[in-house]
Amino acid sequence: MTTFTRTIAALATFFLAFASASAQEFATNPIINADVPDVSLLRVGDDYYMSSTTCHMTPNVPIMRSKNLVDWELIGYACDVLEKNDALELRDGKNAYGAGSWASSLRYHDGVFYLATFSQTTGKTHIFSTRDPAGKWDEKSFRPMLHDCSLFFDDDGRVYLIYGNGDLRIAELKDDLSGLKPGGANRILIRNASAPAGPNVGLGAEGSQVLKRNGKYYVFNITWPRGGMRTEIVHRADSLDGPFEGRVFAQDRGIAQGTIFEGTEGQWFACLFRDSGSMGRAPYLAKVDWVDDWPILSDDGKFPDVLPIKHEPNAKRFGNFIGDDEFSNPDALVDVLTMGPWQWNHNPDGDHWSLKAREGWFRIETGRVDSQLMQTRNMLTQRTYGPTCCGTTALDPRGLKEGDVAGLMLLQRRFGYVGVTRRDGKLYVVQAQPDDKTGATVENALIPLEGEPESIQFRAKCDFRNFRDLAEFSWSRDGENWETIGEKLHMIYTIPQFIGYRFALFCNASKEAGGIADFDFFHVGD
């Protein structure tokens, strides 16, 4: 190679590197503009790990990983099925909406990852462990159910759960974490823990996350003063025997509940969630300084809009949290449920869905009649996201039986859907949502189809900008010419479901079981 050629090559390398660096941009809050609440974070080596709440969805308790705190990938779930009971399997009119499992606590100790959570639906405290957070987790569970429990390994080898609401309690665990230790600590740790936020308490202190730094113990909690906003508080003590003193840690736009942790460069961070309307609860990140052994948000007590973290803007914005699926791999759905965006609405019925019955299609076959749409099994879901998004699917409706309806839903208590139904032997495109007063499903539009089309496409668009929380539905015969149908849906985040809106593929039978809905693909976009 000549000197001239080497010079040209070096310059080319330089400009490519410069262009790549210039292409990077600063990350913004929220770090994930989707429903990822109750976050628990930790760092192991150069990797960050995070768990979150998905309530009644299966598989349960998502595990995420990141190198830079803003670009996250979903690497698995703590459990495939939390438990098999009537509520989690939508049997005998029961359900686990808004229940399932709640706020988790993710820890790393002696080379092992641990995750503690609790469930009103099982009445138990669940503790999972693994050496590979992207692999299988082992489970131990026991009674009683300890609300919003935080797992804590102390330096003397003793292990505790700090939990409760208002009055926070501490309970010591057996060495193998299989239950409460007989004769171990079991007492109130902090009485009236909401006090630092003022006397007018609405939501008592809960959502505990515990850490130890420089020999001092810190307990972080969310509380909500009446007439105020969600607030994050912190208590500090030199010993678990107390006394604890507390103060407000964060009071900014209701951003609260989450974790404070140390980064790779010794910088500390806070990651807490903010209510984001019907989209759900999104995680926000901020730098933390320590002043006189108290944690303080670095940016004047606020969570900044722009973060001092660069990332590639062309990287897939939501990693594998949300994404397209062509249903082309007959063995993929189980893997996708472990590694990708899909979760079932409650435990699935494995005898009545398939990726193998028809190659390249996701098939739902109704296994029973359900008069209530929310009791329908085998709904396949993934998150909506902000500030705007849309989901599109294609359905072959020819296998539907009389009274069946199948299609694309925006899933929450105040749901809305567009799909196909069969009435008196004929197929109709339908858009519907529940009546606000009675809860009965109201059909806003019913359009007859000619013959038995092999494919009809459906689309749901969501607008979460400035809390507009509006959705509209459309359909197409060919995927090119789209017709808006029915009424716009005013989306509302409700406590009975306790998660943000989700796209859902569904098939419901109202008269007889055995109907078939084949979905060709699912695509997301802005």
The residues, any chain, with a CB within 8 Å of residue 3's CB and separated by 6 or more, are: none
Structure token pair of residue 323: 């994404």
Query: Does position 334 have pLDDT exceeding 70, yes or no?
Result: no
- What residues form DSSP beta bridges with 235? 219, 246
Distance CA 44, CA 33 (A): 25
Q: Is 352 helix (H, G, I), strand (E, B) or coil?
A: helix
Task: Please give the share of the chain, as a percent, with pLDDT higher than 70.
Answer: 93
Band of the pLDDT at 329, cuts 50, 70, 90? confident
Q: 335: part of which helix (H) or strand (E)?
A: helix 332-339
Query: Does position 463 have pLDDT exceeding 90, yes or no?
Result: yes
Per-residue model confidence as pLDDT tens digits over 302-317: 999 999 999 877 665 6
Band of the pLDDT at 330, cuts 50, 70, 90? low
Distance CA 441, CA 430 (A): 12
Per-residue model confidence as pLDDT tens digits over 380-414: 999 999 999 999 999 999 999 999 999 999 999 99
φ, ψ for residue 253 (rounded to 5)? 55, 25
Show the DSSP H helices in 349-469 as ranges.
Answer: none
Alpha carbon of 361 to those of 305, 326, 409, 502: distances in Å? 42, 8, 18, 21
Query: Does position 338 have pLDDT exceeding 80, yes or no?
Result: no
Query: Does position 340 have pLDDT exceeding 80, yes or no?
Result: no
Query: Does position 1 have pLDDT exceeding 70, yes or no?
Result: no
Find out whether 283 and 272 touch, Cβ atoms under 8 Å. yes
Structure token pair of residue 1: 């190679």
Per-residue model confidence as pLDDT tens digits over 260-303: 999 999 999 999 999 999 999 999 999 999 999 999 999 999 99
Tokens 């809860």 correspond to: 439
- What residues form DSSP beta bridges with 237? 217
CA 523 vs. chain centroid, Å, equals: 19
Mean pLDDT of the chain: 93
The residues, any chain, with a CB within 8 Å of residue 255's CB and separated by 6 or more, are: 230, 232, 272, 273, 274, 284, 303
pLDDT at residue 312, as a whole number: 79
φ, ψ for residue 267 (rounded to 5)? -75, 140
Instruction: Count other C-beta atoms under 10 Å from residue 158's C-beta.
Output: 15
Query: Does position 12 have pLDDT exceeding 50, yes or no?
Result: no
Band of the pLDDT at 426, cuts 50, 70, 90? very high
DSSP of 221-246, one letter per residue? EEEEETTS--EEEEEEESSTT---EE
Domains of the chain: 27-311 (2.115.10.20), 332-525 (2.60.120.200)
Band of the pLDDT at 446, cuts 50, 70, 90? very high
Distant-in-sequence contacts of 313-321, Cβ < 8 A, 24+ apart: 313/23, 313/24, 313/25, 314/23, 315/71, 318/32, 318/34, 318/385, 319/71, 319/72, 319/73, 319/74, 320/73, 320/74, 321/32, 321/34, 321/36, 321/72, 321/74, 321/382, 321/383, 321/385
Task: Please give the share of the chain, as a percent, with pLDDT higher than 90.
Answer: 88
